[in-house]
Structure 1
Amino acid sequence: MTTDQQLHDQWLVVINDEEQYSIWPAGRDVPGGWHAVGETRDRSACLAHIEEVWTDMRPKSLRDRIAARSGHDA
């Protein structure tokens, strides 16, 4: 594998303020509203990490509203 191919297989796990996850190519500026978490990994490792940590797909604002109505954490 060439260095260029290796670069294209390097990804970051990114998260936004709603605690939604995605992956983003390493070496490119992360879009506004998102920030990288963890280290650069290959695509499959990033996706595996997201599968492990993103257990509630609802946006944070929705979880917070539900928790406020019920009087405890969602």
Structure 2
Amino acid sequence: MDDDSAPREWRVVINDEEQYALLPAVLALPGGWRDGGFTGSEADCTAYVDEHWTDMRPLSLRRAMAEGGGS
């Protein structure tokens, strides 16, 4: 993608498993994803995700482990 067509603004999105992703802000949210409450440059959004997504395990796995069902 050349610089003229690269997205200028991004947003952080989160799915039901509390996994984060970046999406160009001009695009509609895909099914299963919600707005993560942060928009900005790709670098700013990446920094936000790095700061806030501290446990990479899916929510279902974290719940199972908390209930003693995981190893």
- TM-score class, shorter-chain normalisation, is 0.7 to 0.9
Higher Cα Rg, which structure:
1
Q: Which residue of 1 aligns with 2:65?
A: 66
Q: Which residue of 2 aligns with 1:56?
A: 55
Q: Number of residue pairs matched?
A: 66
Which residues of structure 2 form unaligned runs of 5+? none
Using the TM superposition, give the Cα deviation of residue 39 of structure 1 relative to its aligned residue in structure 2, in angstroms.
3.4
Stretches (4+) displaced over 3 A: none
Letter in 2 for 1:9: R
Using the TM superposition, give the Cα deviation of residue 40 of structure 1 relative to its aligned residue in structure 2, in angstroms.
2.1
Provide the TM-score with structure 2 as the length reference: 0.84
Q: Which residue of 2 aligns with 1:45?
A: 44
Provide the TM-score with structure 1 as the length reference: 0.81
Q: In structure 2, what is the Cα distance between the partners aligned to 1:47 and 1:63?
A: 23
Q: Which residue of 1 aligns with 2:21?
A: 22
Name the Cα RMSD after superposition.
Answer: 1.9
Which residues of structure 1 form unaligned runs of 5+? none
